[in-house]
Chain A
Amino acid sequence: MRFVRHAVPVFALLSLTAFPLTAQNTGTVRGQVVDSTTRQALAGVIIQVEGTQLQTASGNDGSYTLASVPAGSVLVRATRIGYAPQRQSVTVTTGGTAEAQFALTPQASLLEAVVVTGYGTQRREAITGSVSTINPAQANVGVTTNVTQMLSGRAAGVDITLNNGEPGAGSQILIRGGSSISNSNDPLYVIDGVPINNVATEPQGMSGVVGTPALPRNPLNLLNPSDIASITVLKDASATAIYGSRAANGVILVETKKGTGGGGPSIEYDSYAAASSPARRLDVLDGDEYRAYVNPQFVTWRSDSTACAGRPACATGYADSSGGFGGIKPYALGTANTDWERAVTRTAVTHNHNLSFSGGTEDTRYRASLNYMKDDGVALSSTLQRIQGRLAGTHRALDNRLRLGVNVTTSRVNNTYLTFDNTGGFEGGVFQNVAIFDPTQPITFTDATGTHFYEGGGSSVRNPVALAKQLIDIGQTTRTLGNATAELDIAGGLTGQVTVGLDHASGGRQTYYPKESPIGDALGGGVARLVDLNNDARTLQTLLTYRRESGDRSFDVVGGYEYNKFKSDTVTASGSGFFTDAFTFDKLSAATTRNSSSGAEQSVLVSFFSRANFGYKNKYFLTAALRYDGSSKFAAGHQWSSFPGISASWHMSDEGFMQSSPFSDLRVRAGWGVQGNPGIPAYSSLALLGAGGGGTYTWGDAPQTGVAGIQNPNPDLKWERTAQFDLGVDFGLMSNRLTGSVEYYIKNTSDLLLSVKVPQPAAVEERLENVGKLRNRGVELSLDALAISRPSLTWRAGITFAASRNKVTNLGSRGTITSGGVSGQGQSGQVSQLIAPGLPLGTFYGPVFLGVDANGKQLFACSTPNTPASNCSNGSTINGSGPGAGDYQVIGNANPDFTLGFHNQITFGKLDLSFLIRASVGQDVFNNTALVYSTKGNALQGKNFLRPALTDGIGLHEPAIFSSLWIENGSFVRLQNITLEYTLNLPMLRSVQSARVYVSADNLLLLTGYSGLDPEVYASSGLASRGIDYLSYPRPRTVTGGLRLTF
């Protein structure tokens, strides 16, 4: 073990020293770049001498000059987004000047030719793994709060589900299907080369009062999308192997914008304002409908002898509850017509301002940017405000042999939260009450003491407007992400680099439930809670890179060491029982009952890694990577694991025999690798005793703080490993006017980390063990076409397509696992999903709904071995008895058959039109909202319900029973964004280099048969649960107008 740990870097170094170090004399290369069709000069083309760090960009007239080029025959490359790269061989003499002219051909994809691949960059054609890149300029449209939103629909195999419509909402990302059941399936984010610990930066909201708090917002809200220069998604194991340990779910590499050298400083300003409103609404009864339902029901009930059987009150009147219709007695109805959903939602305004300037000399470059964003949610009291500053500086010295870089981003995000719940039971937040609050009641009423919110009282039904306005829940994160890099060319081709990264986030959350609110009142007269959370991550990286190109061969190898330390600590203080609401959470000492607590944890990840790229004749490429990782979270003796990867590609179109083929470009790739997933809590392998909480007991009258076991030890706990095989073909047709790739992958995860029941007695019921296997397979296709290319009109269109199949192949001793806990009243212990060998994650499992009988009792498919014979007849349940446990079967699959993204960019003169359409087909969604709130019996308790219940034939007294009735087809097509941009001529403002205005619309159109708010949903409801829709925050439809100026 010890040998391997040290062998990796030693191997890397040995391979470096095998090459002679030489010094050279230099000359100059210069020339001009034009567009091959229009013959117009092309500015901003990157000109680079291959195998060196020498590069420059062409000026406005297309010309360039490269000095200090080593004498001899060199390859000069010209690359620009939207054009095919070109290279030329020129001979440079010592002190002489060689010329290289380029005429670049436009091509289909708007992608960078040089791709960031982790601990370095690679030319796109030399990449052997599966890598998607996203053009940030194209993706940063509409209201975009974070980098995750920019990926949506633009990279094949990257499936993003926003949790809900909250501003800056978090999201669930599955790259190639998700490789884990209980571990995180989030990819690893690497910003400017530094892996970041993508955990919630703000403490969760208060729980136990209104269901489970909403899911955290996206921790990446700290980064302004306008500062992003490139996004690379590493999908397969060979590409991610260099990040081995944390890469099982893919890696997202984000590079931020750096200063540009040469030319004067440039200033950019862009700004937009957006208005959004809820795209769809819950279909509840309005006041008139509710009255119209309740009044005749009352009469029906009295005259219905069946319903009255055994209920003496039916005969004598209705003035007692035993008749069962007390709740629908007209006494309770109001005269108002309140649309509670409209009352808690709004047309929200978002505005965003970015100012950046950059400049510098050839040697010293800088870029500074400032962002302000305020994004109001479409529901009351939910806002995201971001103030962010960023500085990036690079300096090169010693004839460009030493390169220094510093990036610092500091952001302050202020969040205002609406109290809504993600999952939950009886007493819910705002959206539950939107569904059930009596629509015949007013929002407020006025009496002698003033105007008050109308509250129904009792039964956990709360005025949703009052909830939204009275409960204070705010959070804020100050996060600083900084890194400093020093890179030195030690000797010919050998470069050393040291990077230090720091990621510090301080998050706070303050909650106050006033006495004025029935919730705060019931909790002891006002409840205040303050939580501070500090996350601290430090990274040290040292890299040695050796590059060499000679003749037909190119070779580079990188070896490195990385040390990551994560610390997190939290402090909570709370109090209840205030004599006034005036203090809110600012005077805990005024509370009659106070509590405080704190906690801390720490983990360490250490890695040694090495990667070698070989190229031969620019046609054959081979990449091998090996990473050796140690994580403190695993059991002693199992902390270290190695993660290899190997891949190769063959540029077939460069072969002589392909010259007459229709392919202008053709490459095949194959790769294999193993990745890990350490996404478990710190200390997971240890036996732990917890102090307080469940271990505390009362002797006499005094609570005695006790300790009790909270974790069973697992001395065998080790890495979850995913082996992935990937096969891909990249092709170009018609001079690359049509380009694309097709990929097939198969991912096998073994040693799945799962919480498994252990034999009793044990301190707790379960422990984390390495059991089980999971498989993902899939096909991905992406196509880019330059459909029209005329001087006045260009149309680029692209499609991404992905189909993936996920299957649990083994669960060890666990047998099966139930998941997808159903939320809502009367659903305690009910689950909706089954994890079992042979089934995909996200399999809905439940009884099959057959219909209703004459009495409105629900009927389910049953068989007498599974249900007592007295409850089952002719395959159907009888007498209102529910189905037996054995009658549960697979009733749906939350995974889509395939997903599609269709993006377009049309340039017509000064007009640019772009749009993105996303589709997801074949997935099922469990409409938990409809299950729970379609019960007409709600009316018996004075609660509203969903309109479809009026005609579903289910009886008034029937409970809400989970069944196939509530599993819906969730296929959809969404017009995610459409943007129209116009380039202004501003001759009167000479200093303005470019000025563009645009209008944009997000989520303008959604085609779906799904009856709920939105089929793209996530409710965190147990292990690997997918496709459950419960009272989600409505997704907005947004229209944006903006302006981009460059001075």
Chain B
Amino acid sequence: MKRTMSKRSIRGAWLAALLLGSMQACTNLDELPKSDISPGTFFNNEAEALAGLSGVYAQLRGAFPGYCCAYYALNEISTDEMVVPTRGQDWYDNGRWLEIHEQGWTPGSPSTLQDINSAWVNSFTGVANANLALSALQSRIIMDSVKQAGVIAELRALRAFYYYQLMDLFGGVPVVTTTDVAQRDRVSRDSVFKFIEAELLAARADLPRTRDAANNGRFTKGAVDAILASMYVNAGVFTKDAGQFSAVAYNSCTGITVAGGLSACQAAKDRADSTILSGVYQLADTFVKNFRADNNLSPENIFVVKFAPRDGLGFPFLQTTLHYNQFSTTPWNGFATLAQTYQAFDTLNDRRKSIFLVGPQFNVETGDTVCIRPGCAKGAPRLVFTPTIADVRAATEGEGVRIYKWPYDPNHVAQNNGNDFAYFRLAEMYLIKAEAELNGATGAPAPLALLRTVRARSFTTDTLSSVTLPVILRERLFELTFEGKRRQDLIRFGQYTAAWQFKTAGQPYLTLMPIPQSQIDANPKLVQNTGY
């Protein structure tokens, strides 16, 4: 008995010790992510630096329909170039699309909370990712120092371009170059302008003039020049906060001094010339070469968003506009252009009119006749696109001329086409130069010769005989339709708030987008744009 007792006691003591021992153990709660990366342990070598750089470039895609429809869509649908009619039960989407076209947004309205918010967040996400990589690369050397300086220059130029988008849509925004998430004040639009300008100029020094084919799409000196040229020609708007520029008259670049003490108009002309005379770029022999799936070979494109015919990497614009039966991944039958814009091309014998689809339709891939329901053979009615949209809130499937500037990619994977999208191509540099010269910049040749150079490939006989500012605006419409420029142009020319199809005349404050109420909630230091 006694023996048993002692055995029990020993067993009991052993168990108690086990219990106590295990209580003290295992309280380590440190986390180490397995399938994701902690930024603090990253950016150690060239490959990791390039991966970070790639992530900042990738954000450029975010401006397009199919990714999120932000910067690009706002710049087009809010103008006379594009409208998204409600087609039966399709494309109502909370009234967002028509709200954008009618410029009916308010700080808390559906298009603001959805699309304008997307634009705000997308551009800032690019800034944040650039800051993450920059904070690592600017603090220590991890690779060949020349290469590292080049990567840093690309990151700074990209960040500047995201700020360019924000400045364009919203005016002054918080300028941030660190990685901490914090509430910050807006700075003036002019300060943002100067920040972008300084960053681009600093980056330019470390960027190459050209890139080899394997690095096509990465920043060059020419890309920096093109962005600067655009900023300078828009300086009458971009350096001014709401109310300081005119919503109804041309906002000239004259009288504004920029880096180097130049007048903005002269600087615009100089930067345009820098690309025109670089020897790196030349106008493509045909207009359409700039937009085809193989447009990475176009010598005209200066700064593009790269797309590839791969899942999640492709240019999905065709989906937004083509009819359901016109392409092999069923498109969405939405975006169309206005009759007035389509008909503006009618006065000219302009080959650029081929960017529209109108009349009886074919499958863009197969060339087969297309009917609005499958089964033409059974008597299904032919799909016909008409310029007229009788009721934009209750449109039919065939109403509205469609946009086919970027032909489908024969190698497309579902909706992913490989066409690159050019934010800047050489033709625009000619137009900027011409506009700068009309505004007093000294340069040669004269505006008429510049425009005729661009138009040569699109006309058999060019009858253009004189160039005025309205001619520049019209030429930019013809040359750059659907290239995301129209809102900028209409604002610069004082026509953005005018009335056009499906839209009444609006107030001047609409030339800046509202800051989404949800963003003001998140950062109460943001002061709303005047008028909202």
Contact = CB atoms under 8 A, between A and B. Distances in A.
Interface of A: 5-6, 9, 13, 309-313, 318-324, 326-327, 329, 331-332, 398, 401, 426-427, 456-460, 488, 490-491, 496, 498, 522-524, 540, 542-544, 561, 563, 593, 598-604, 606, 608, 630-633, 636, 639, 682-683, 686-691, 693-713, 756-765, 767, 813-815, 818, 824-831, 868, 870, 879-882, 884-886, 932, 935, 937-938, 940-942, 955, 957-962
A959 B226 CA distance: 43
A332 B380 contact: yes
27 contacts: A9-B20, A310-B391, A313-B384, A319-B381, A320-B398, A322-B386, A324-B397, A332-B375, A456-B374, A458-B373, A459-B325, A496-B15, A524-B414, A632-B31, A688-B37, A694-B55, A695-B54, A697-B54, A706-B58, A759-B525, A760-B121, A826-B91, A827-B92, A885-B108, A942-B373, A955-B394, A962-B94
Given A602-B34, A632-B29, A694-B58, A758 B384 contact: no
Contacts of B523: 759-760
Contacts of B36: 683, 688-691, 710-711
B452 to A, nearest CB: 34
Interface string B44-59: 0000101111111111
A327 B372 contact: yes
B29 A630 contact: yes
A326 B381 contact: yes
A695 B380 contact: no
Given A320-B384, A707-B42, A826-B89, A699 B215 contact: yes
A957 B217 contact: no
A826 B90 contact: yes
Contact of B19 (A331, A460, A496, A706): A496
A709 B381 contact: no
Given A706-B58, A827-B93, A760 B390 contact: no
B355 to A, nearest CB: 21
Nearest to A427: B330
Contact of A458 (B88, B93, B324, B504): B324
A962 B110 CA distance: 13
A701 B88 contact: no
A427 B325 CA distance: 15
Given A699-B214, A704-B54, A762-B128, A687 B176 contact: no
B132 to A, nearest CB: 6
B364 interface: no
Contact of B18 (A498, A593, A767): A498
Contacts of A879: 393
Contacts of B27: 5, 606, 630
Contacts of A522: 328-330, 414
A707 B37 contact: yes
A679 to B, nearest CB: 16
Contact of A542 (B18, B132, B328, B393): B18
Given A522-B414, A561-B22, A825 B58 contact: no
Interface string B93-137: 111100000001010111001100000110011011101100000
B359 to A, nearest CB: 10
Interface of B: 8, 11-12, 15-16, 18-20, 22-24, 26-31, 33-40, 42, 48, 50-61, 86, 88-96, 104, 106, 108-110, 113-114, 120-121, 124-125, 127-129, 131-132, 174, 176, 181-184, 212-218, 296, 306-308, 310, 312-313, 324-325, 328-330, 332, 360, 372-375, 378-384, 386, 388, 390-391, 393-394, 396-399, 413-414, 504, 517-519, 521-525
A626 to B, nearest CB: 14
Nearest to A640: B29
A558 B50 CA distance: 57
Contacts of A460: 324, 330
A959 B306 contact: no
A201 B435 CA distance: 64
B34 A600 contact: yes
A813 B522 contact: yes
Contacts of A310: 388, 390-391
B373 A326 contact: yes
Contact of B55 (A602, A633, A697): A697
A631 B53 CA distance: 35
Contact of A324 (B23, B56, B396): B396
A700 B18 contact: no
Contacts of A763: 125, 128-129, 132
Contacts of B94: 827-831, 882, 962
Contacts of B93: 826-830
A53 to B, nearest CB: 16
Contact of A759 (B29, B109, B110, B183): B183
Nearest to B504: A870
Contact of B181 (A523, A630, A759): A759
A627 to B, nearest CB: 13
Contacts, number: 382
Given A689-B37, A885-B109, A708 B59 contact: yes
A523 B416 CA distance: 12
A884 B109 contact: yes
A937 B88 contact: yes
Contacts of A960: 89, 92
A662 B22 CA distance: 52
Contacts of A961: 92
A886 B108 CA distance: 8
B50 to A, nearest CB: 7
Nearest to B88: A937
A917 B26 CA distance: 49
Nearest to A880: B393
B33 A683 contact: yes
A687 B397 CA distance: 46
Nearest to A494: B12
Contacts of A563: 22, 26
Given A332-B380, A523-B414, A542-B19, 5 more contacts: A326-B398, A561-B23, A699-B215, A762-B128, A870-B504
B522 A599 contact: no
Nearest to A309: B390
B219 to A, nearest CB: 11
Nearest to A682: B31
Given A498-B19, A762-B181, A320 B29 contact: no
Contacts of A825: 89-90
Contacts of B131: 761
Contacts of A690: 36-37
Nearest to A818: B113
B223 to A, nearest CB: 14
A312 B108 CA distance: 39
Nearest to B108: A885
B384 A322 contact: yes
3 closest cross-chain pairs (CB), A and B: A706-B54, A457-B374, A321-B398
B125 A829 contact: no
B52 A706 contact: yes
Nearest to B392: A880
Contacts of A882: 92, 94-95
Given A697-B57, A705-B54, A958-B394, A599 B15 contact: no
Given A496-B19, A606-B27, A698-B217, A686 B88 contact: no
Residue with the highest number of chain A CB atoms closer than 10 Å, among B89, B328, B383, B394: B89
Contact of B39 (A542, A689, A706): A689
A691 B48 CA distance: 11
A826 B379 CA distance: 28
A601 B381 contact: no
B521 A937 contact: no
A313 B88 CA distance: 18
B182 A759 contact: yes
A760 B12 contact: no
A709 B125 contact: yes
A744 B511 CA distance: 57
B313 A696 contact: yes
A357 B59 CA distance: 63
Residue with the highest number of chain B CB atoms closer than 10 Å, among A309, A604, A686, A704: A704
